[in-house]
């Protein structure tokens, strides 16, 4: 079938919950993909921050092929080697104590919420505990994850949602303190807000939240599903703030393409929260997914991916600063590492820039209120960055008559 036939077939049978770009991706290599007609595209969205190592990174495919030749699924009633290996690597990397593997980021959030409420229930012997989350946040689309996602647009059709959630203003510690009560059991936030528009946490804000949590025996849950795994210039974004969460959620680049997520607990939380019978998953932590996770950590270390991110990020930041200086319609450039955003005025729609970029051979996506989002594979080179910036320069010029 040709590209149009594939699109039409999908439109006839797939539930329409995504407004997809008119593109059929057939293959990928490095930081580029090809469509069903053989056209090549530079990929600066990486499957929404998933393909950290790009496509067919040496050693990755071989690890998955080897595991497929052994066994793909066992259930969590038994042990397997990839479970033991991946668990140790995740836990040691984050400086935590225990990990539970899931199928997705949303499931990782669900588990983190349950762990927090169970911890509080064991602490004081009662239910009805509250969680403080942030406005403009995004944590997933399951009912629990949606309940702590601070966006009315996503929530409204599905109410009533999970109760006991209060929303504070991101980077406003006074707003957080106003939400505190004797019932508060956890404060949940993204270390860098992604879908909300690429907003890093202010260091003073995050450190004060950590202090409050310590003082009141409240759990700090950091969502690093998008901003973790080297994307911000450290393996975990929280490392740059000099703090550590009680629970960490991760996914996306954790498996570099294989569906897998996790929530990771420190010793205090792991010792006094979930026990056998409290939580489970049929497919989560299967041998294939965890063979991928284990190999990803090996490849990150062997290729010093985090150091490469910092070098590439400096070049990308300079390129985006140049665009911001050139065009008055760009109102802000913000972000950390290789997680960045260009905010546009109402004179131009970021979605139109993304569409024009696609036409010119660049894959890029949006976030928040009129923000162009940059979450490329972490292996991009300066040459790749220069090409992407040049394409965007042409796109913005075409859409604004060069203004």
Q: Which CATH class is domain 71-302?
A: alpha beta
pTM: 0.97
Task: Work out the number of other CB atoms within 10 angstroms of the CB of residue 21.
Answer: 12
Instruction: Please report the DSSP string for 228-280 in residue order.
Output: TTTTTSSSSGGGGGT---SEEEE-GGGTTTS--EEEEE-HHHHHTS--TTS--
- Give every strand in the sheet of 165-168, ordered side by side: 98-102, 261-265, 247-250, 219-223, 184-190, 130-134, 165-168
Beta bridge partners of 261: 102
Q: Is-contact 128 159, C-beta < 8 A?
A: no
pLDDT for the residue numbered 213:
98
Task: Work out the number of other CB atoms within 10 angstroms of the CB of residue 234.
Answer: 17
- Calpha distance 151→385 (Å, rounded): 32
- Calpha distance 289→14 (Å, rounded): 25
Interstrand relation of 130-134 and 165-168 (parallel, antiparallel or unpaired): parallel
pLDDT for the residue numbered 401:
84
Of 400, 221, 240, 206, give the one whose Cα is nearest residue 309. Answer: 240
- Give every strand in the sheet of 371-374, ordered side by side: 330-336, 339-344, 371-374, 365-367
pLDDT for the residue numbered 256:
98
Per-block mean pLDDT, blocks of 10 residues, the chain (403 long): 95 96 97 97 98 98 98 97 98 98 98 98 95 98 97 94 97 98 98 97 98 98 98 98 98 98 98 98 98 98 98 98 97 98 96 98 97 98 98 97 71
Contacts (Cβ under 8 Å, ≥6 apart) of 96: 244, 248, 264, 265, 266, 267
CATH code for the part of the protein at 3-57+304-400:
3.90.1150.10
Sole residue written with tokens 């588990």: 111
- Calpha distance 36→3 (Å, rounded): 6
Q: Is-contact 297 253, C-beta < 8 A?
A: no
pLDDT for the residue numbered 402:
63
Sole residue written with tokens 């038994």: 78
Q: Is 381 exposed, middle or buried (0-12, 13-18, 19+ CB in 10 A)?
A: middle
User: Tokens at residue 66, please?
Assistant: 């080897």
Tell me phi and psi for residue 79, to 5 degrees.
-90, 160
List the chain domain ranges.
Answer: 3-57+304-400, 71-302
């Amino acid at each position: 079938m040709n590209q149009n036939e594939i699109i039409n077939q999908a439109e006839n049978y797939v539930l329409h919950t995504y407004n997809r770009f008119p593109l059929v991706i057939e293959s990928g290599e490095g930081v580029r993909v090809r469509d069903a007609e053989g056209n090549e595209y530079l990929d600066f969205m990486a499957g929404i921050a998933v393909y950290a190592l790009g496509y067919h990174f040496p050693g990755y495919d071989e690890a998955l092929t080897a595991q497929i030749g052994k066994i793909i699924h066992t259930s969590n009633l038994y042990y397997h080697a990839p479970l033991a290996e991946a668990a140790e690597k995740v836990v040691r990397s984050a400086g935590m104590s225990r990990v539970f593997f899931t199928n997705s980021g949303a499931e990782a959030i669900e588990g983190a919420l349950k762990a927090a409420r169970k911890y509080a229930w064991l602490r004081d012997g009662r239910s009805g505990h509250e969680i403080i989350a942030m406005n403009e946040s995004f944590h997933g689309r399951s009912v629990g994850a949606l309940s702590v996602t601070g966006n009315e647009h996503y929530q409204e059709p599905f109410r009533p949602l999970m109760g006991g959630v209060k929303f504070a203003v991101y980077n406003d510690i006074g707003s957080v303190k106003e939400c505190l009560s004797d019932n508060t059991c956890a404060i949940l936030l993204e270390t860098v807000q992604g879908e909300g528009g690429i907003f890093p946490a202010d260091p003073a804000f995050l450190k004060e939240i950590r202090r409050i949590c310590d003082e009141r025996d409240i759990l700090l849950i950091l969502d690093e599903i998008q901003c973790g795994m080297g994307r911000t210039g450290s393996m975990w974004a929280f490392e740059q703030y000099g703090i550590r969460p009680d629970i960490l959620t991760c996914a996306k680049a954790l498996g570099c393409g294989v569906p897998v997520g996790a929530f990771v607990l420190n010793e205090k939380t792991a010792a006094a929260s979930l026990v056998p019978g409290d939580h489970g998953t049929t497919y989560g932590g299967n041998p294939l997914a965890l063979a991928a996770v284990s190999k990803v950590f090996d490849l990150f270390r062997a290729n010093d991916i985090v150091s490469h991110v910092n070098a590439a990020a400096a070049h990308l930041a300079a390129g985006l600063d140049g665009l911001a200086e050139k065009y008055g319609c760009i109102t802000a450039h913000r972000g950390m590492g290789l997680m960045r955003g260009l905010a546009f005025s109402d004179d131009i729609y970021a979605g139109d820039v993304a569409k024009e970029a696609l036409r010119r051979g660049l894959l890029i996506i949006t976030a928040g209120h009129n923000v162009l989002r940059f979450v490329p594979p972490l292996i991009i080179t300066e040459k790749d960055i220069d090409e992407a910036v040049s394409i965007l320069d042409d796109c913005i010029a075409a859409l604004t008559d060069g203004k």
